[in-house]
Structures are given as C-alpha cells and as structure tokens.
Amino acid sequence: MKPVNLNQVRKAKTRAEAKAKADENAVRFGRTKAEKVLDATRAKQASDRLSQLKFEDE
C-alpha cells in the first residue's frame, strides 16, 4: 500500500467543495451576457431621458 499525504488529501477535498459551491452560486446568481447588456442599455436610455428632461437653468 502506498503512503498518502493527508495534507494534500485535505486540501484537495476543500478545493472540490469550494468549486462545487462556486458552480452552485454561478447557476443561482449568475446572469447571462444578454441580460447584462439589456440592463446596461436600459440604464443608458433612462439616463439619456433624464438628461433631456433637465432644465437648463439649474
């Protein structure tokens, strides 16, 4: 039987758990590129609209 480095096993297990958690969070909270572009476009349109409605005196 081959000796096992317990530190390496422990670290590998921790890395695997962190990767699983990251993948789960990416699915739960992640947004697609299309959603991000849509939000940016809407924010730009809202900003432009507010700029148009401002009074020049202020």
Residue 53 banded pLDDT, cuts 50, 70, 90: confident
CA distance 12 to 5: 11
What proportions of the chain, in percent to the nearest 5, are helix, strand and coil? 80, 0, 20
CA distance 29 to 35: 12
pLDDT value at residue 37:
96
Whether the predicted pLDDT of 58 surpasses 70: no
